[in-house]
Amino acid sequence: MVLDNKGKPHVGYITREDIEDRIWSGNLFYSVLEEGQWKKEKVEENIIRPEGGNVLIDSNGTPKIIYKKDIKDEYDYHYKSLMRAYLKNGVWDTKSIQSEEVWDWGSAVMDENDQIHVVYEYYGYESSEYGRYRWYGINYVQGQKNEWREEVVKDTAKVEGDLEKSIEGIDLVIDNEGKTHIVYLLKDSSDEEDVYILEHLREK
């Protein structure tokens, strides 16, 4: 939820509809409180494995929503796509910002210049005759409209076998100097007991 400059709350949320073979579909909704009544709009429907739904309000009071969904290619392979939805002339315009093979949703904020900042975890694996390798990291995306910048802010080498470290939660904020701060919870399973480490990254 986010408040606009008039104090009105805006909410984005996702409903799950159908689940088949561990793949669900759902709808993305947007709601705003107007004169004591919630006004609800459907932004996108029949989305494959949607996540997120962060509402951001720009300096003109226009809502924008950042979310994730799966996109199937011609071979029925699922790609994760980072999406943005803008409300233009009463109609929701949805476009893909960028795509990765496998990743988990993180967080999104907007700065005072209407720039959108998104952070999320990515991970993957590959198999070869020499074994199975896995890796993970944190990706950061910043921009607006059709101009976006992408940066890997934390990366790991490929690990043979089971992945001993993973990211369990991730968030970001922009400070009053315009610097980006990313906080995440790192799970270390290399010992007998899992260890959770809170780590912080700050833009220089």
Q: Return the percentage of the chain with pLDDT > 90, whole number.
A: 28
Tokens of 169: 């939660």
pLDDT at 76: 67
- Residue 111 corresponds to which tokens in the numbers above? 């700065």
Ranges 52-61, 94-103, 159-168, most confident: 52-61
The alpha carbon of 47 is separated from its chain's Cα centroid by a whole number of angstroms, namely: 15
Q: Is the pLDDT of residue 31 over 90?
A: yes
In the structure, how many helices (H) and strands (E) does the chain have?
0, 15
What's this model's pTM, rounded to 2 decimal places? 0.83
- % of the chain surpassing 70 pLDDT: 83
Overall residue count recorded for the chain in this entry: 204
What mean pLDDT comes out for the span 62-83? Answer: 82
Q: What pLDDT does 96 receive?
A: 87
Phi then psi for 4, rounded to 5 degrees? -85, -175
Determine the pLDDT at residue 181.
92
Residue 186 corresponds to which tokens in the numbers above? 């790192």
Q: How many angstroms separate the CA atoms of 187 and 121, rounded?
A: 13
pLDDT at residue number 41? 94
Encode 41-74: b = buried (16+ Cβ within 10 Å), e = exposed.
eebbeebebbbbbbbbbbeeeebbbbbbbbeeee
Cβ neighbourhood burial of 32 (10 Å; 0-12, 13-18, 19+)? middle
Residue at 190: amino acid letter: S
Q: Tens digit of pLDDT for each residue in 110-165?
A: 999 999 999 988 776 666 665 566 667 788 888 887 788 888 887 765 555 555 67
Band (pLDDT 50/70/90 cuts) for residue 33 is very high
Instruction: Give pLDDT, residue 159.
Output: 53
Place of tokens 């076998």: 161
